[in-house]
Amino acid sequence: MLSLPESHILVGGRWVASSTGATLDVYDPATSERIASVGSAGPEDVDRAVREAAAAQYEWARTSPSDRGRVLREWAALVARDSETLAETEARDVGKPLSDARRNVWIAHDMLVYFAGMADKVTGSTLPSRLESSFGFTLAEPHGVCALVTAWNVPALLMMAEAAPALAAGNALVIKPSETAPLVVLALAALAVEAGLPGGLISVLTGYGAEAGSPLVRHPMVDHVSFVGSTATGRAVMRDAAESLVPVKLELGGKSPNIVFADADLDNAVPLLADSILENSGQNCNAGSRLLVHADIAEEVTARLAAQFDSVKIGHWHEDLDLGPVATAAQRLKIERHVEQALAHGARLVTGGGRPDGGHYERGFFVTPVLLDRVTSDMAIVQNEVFGPVLTVQSFHDTAEAVDLANSTQFGLQTGIWTRDVSRAMRVVREVRSGQVSVNESSNVGVIGLPFNVTKASGFNSGGGYTAMREYTSEKAVSMRLSSW
Ligand code: NAD
C-alpha cells in the first residue's frame, strides 16, 4: 500500500494542507476500515490550483512536443516501476480483486505511452484559396487549463485517459477525483512530478463535488471541462460550464445490452457475458447489465449464466477472487432497493441478491450476483443504471425486435453482439444507437487507440484513443496572402 502525506492535497505539484482545514477519510469497502485521510479542498484551493496551472501552461505549450513526449514517457516508466503498489492502492480503495486493478494500472500505463507518442504528431491542414496568392491552414492549439472531474470505479484508467492527452497536447490540468476512491489519482500525479512534469501543470484537489468539483467547473480561468460520472451530475456540470461557455466533454452512465442470437457460440459467450456484469462488481460504465437473448436459447443461456453466477468466489481485494464488495454502503442499498422493486413488479429472481454469510463478509459491502428474468422494458431495473452485479434477461424473436430492445433506454454507451453471422452483426452494428459496439467480445477496452465514444444520455465528445488529441486542442483557422506573388 502506498504511503501518501496524511490530510494533504496536491496543488501545483506540491503537497499542501487544504485551505478548509477539513479532511476526508477513505475506507476499504471490504472491511469498512479507514485506510487513509486526505485533504478536503474548497474554492480557495481551486482558485490557487487554477492560477498556478494557467501560469505554468504558457511555457508548457511552448515546450517542444518531443520534450513533452519525453516527460510523459518518463512518467510511464515510473508507473511501471510502481505498478504493483499502484494496483494495491486501487484494489483496496475500490474493493476490487488485485488482478483487476493490475490490469487497469497497466492499461493506464499503456495509454500514457500511446499519448507520449502522440505529442509530436498533432497536425493541422493546408487548404487552397480562391485567390492564387492566398492559402489557408489550421493550427491545433491546446485549450489552456483543463479541469477533470472523475468517478471512483476505475480511477487510474479514468485519470490517464484524460491527463495523458491533455498534457501531451500542451494543456495544464486540475483534477477533482472522486471522494470515494482518490488515492491512486494522487499517487499517479505525484509520479508525474517525480518524472519532471513542471509542478504547476498538475493539481489533485481531493474533496466533495459541491465544495471542490463545482467551483472548479465554474472557475472563469478554466478553458475545458472533462467530466466522468453519473448522468445526473453530468447535467449539473454542463449547466455550470455554461456560465463560462467552455467546451465540455461528458462520459456518463450506461445500461449496456448484450444481444445474443440463436447461432452464437455459447461456450465463448457465456463466460464473457458473466464477466461483463461481474467485473468490478458491475461498477463499470460499460457493464453489460442487460441480456437480450433469442427466445429459442433463452432458457439455456439463463441456466448457464445462473450456474456461472452461483460459482463466483467472493472476497477481499488481496484474496484476488472473482468478486469484491461494492464501493459503499449506499451503493449496496441502492442495488438491493432496485432488486426488491423489480421483484414487486413481477420480475423473477433466478439467483443471487443476498449478502454472503460469515464473519469474513460482515463489515464489507458484499452482494451476491443477481440474475433476474421476466423483466419488461418499462421497469426501473431495465431503464436505470444500477451499478452493481445485477443482470436482467429479456428475450426477442427477430433482429428488429432485438434492436428495438437494445435502443429502448436513455443510454447509448456499449452494445455487445453475439452471432456467427457477419451480415447480421453488421446490420445491428449500424442500427444500434451506441457509442461503442463489440462483436463476440464484451467490450472495446483492449484496443488502446480506439475512441471511448458515447452517445444519448451517456454523454458526448469522444474520449481516449486517436481522437483524444483533437478533443484536447482547438483548431485555429488561418488565411495568409503573399504580397510578392
Ligand atoms: P458521480 O456523478 O456521483 O460523481 C462523479 C464526480 O463528480 C465525483 O468526483 C463527484 O465528487 C463529482 N461531483 C458531484 N457533484 C458535482 C457537481 N455539482 N459539480 C462538479 N462535480 C461534482 O458519479 P460516481 O458515483 O463517482 O461514478 C459512477 C458513475 O460514473 C456511473 O454513472 C458510471 O456509469 C459513470 N462512469 C462513466 C464512465 C464513462 O466513461 N462513460 C466511466 C466511469 C464511470
Domain boundaries along the sequence of the chain: 8-252+461-477, 257-449
Q: With respect to CATH, is domain 257-449 assigned 3.40.309.10?
A: yes
Please work out whether the CB of residue 302 comes within 6 Å of at least one atom of ligand 1.
Answer: no
In this predicted structure, what is the pLDDT of residue 485?
A: 65
The confidence score (pLDDT) of residue 108 equals 96
Phi, psi of 350 (to 5 degrees): -75, -45
Half-sphere exposure of 53 (CA within 13 A, CB side): 33
Which mutation among 216, 285, 450 tests ligand 1's pocket best, with the greatest number of atoms within 8 A of CB? Answer: 285
**Same topology between domain 8-252+461-477 and domain 257-449:** no
- Per-residue model confidence as pLDDT tens digits over 358-379: 999 999 999 999 999 999 999 9
Closest residue by Cα to atom 35, ligand 1, is: 229
Q: Is the CB of 386 under 6 A from ligand 1?
A: no
Atom of ligand 1 nearest to the CA of 176: 9
Q: Residue 436 pairs with which residues in a beta bridge?
A: 414
Determine the average pLDDT of the residues in 286-292.
Answer: 98
CA distance 94 to 182: 9
Give 59's pLDDT tier (boundaries 50, 70, 90).
very high
Please tell me the predicted confidence (pLDDT) of residue 462: 74
Q: For residue 483, what pLDDT is reported? A: 82
> Does 439 sit in the ligand 1 pocket, CB within 6 Å?
no
- For the chain, percent of residues with pLDDT exceeding 70: 99
Residue 100 CB–ligand 1 contact under 6 Å: no
**Cβ distance 156 to 102 under 8 Å?**
no
Listed in sequence order, the residues at least 6 apart from 212 whose beta carbon sits closer than 8 Å to its beta carbon are: 40, 41, 42, 43, 45, 46, 176, 205, 206
Per-residue confidence band for 254, with pLDDT thresholds at 50, 70 and 90: very high
Distance 155 CA to ligand 1 centre (A): 11
pLDDT digits (tens, 9 = 90+) for 399-452: 999 999 999 999 999 999 999 999 999 999 999 999 999 999 988 777 888 999
Distance from Cα 234 to the centre of ligand 1, integer Å: 7
pLDDT band at 2 (very low <50, low <70, confident <90, very high): low
- Quickly state the pLDDT bin for 1 (edges 50, 70, 90): low
Mutate to test the pocket of ligand 1, among 46, 157, 226, 228 (most ligand atoms within 8 A of CB): 228
Whose cell is 487554477? That residue is 50
Our CA angle for 84, 281, 361, nearest 5°, is 85
C-alpha span between 274 and 289 (Å, rounded): 10
Q: pLDDT per residue over 87-118, tens digit each?
A: 999 999 999 999 999 999 999 999 999 999 99
For strand 145-149 and strand 224-228, is the pairing parallel, antiparallel, or unpaired?
parallel
Q: Measure CA 169 to chain center.
A: 20
Report the DSSP beta bridge partners of residue 175: 148, 204
Instruction: Report the pLDDT averaged over residues 220-231.
Output: 98
Q: Where are the alpha helices (DSSP H) in 262-321?
A: 266-278, 298-310
Q: If you count DSSP H runs as helices and E runs as strands, how many of each does the chain have, helices first?
A: 15, 22
Element containing residue 89 per DSSP (H, E): helix 83-94
> What is 8-252+461-477's CATH topology?
Aldehyde Dehydrogenase; Chain A, domain 1 (3.40.605)
> What pairing do the DSSP bridges indicate for beta strands 8-11 and 14-17?
antiparallel
Rounded distance, CA 242 to CA 261, Å? 44
- Between the CA of 150 and the centroid of ligand 1 the distance, in Å, is 6
Q: Ligand 1, from 230, 237, 436, 443: best to mutate by most atoms within 8 Å of Cβ?
A: 230
Percent of the chain with pLDDT over 90: 94
pLDDT-based confidence at residue 463 (cuts at 50, 70, 90): confident
Average pLDDT over residues 13-32: 97
> Longest C-alpha distance within the chain, in Å?
86
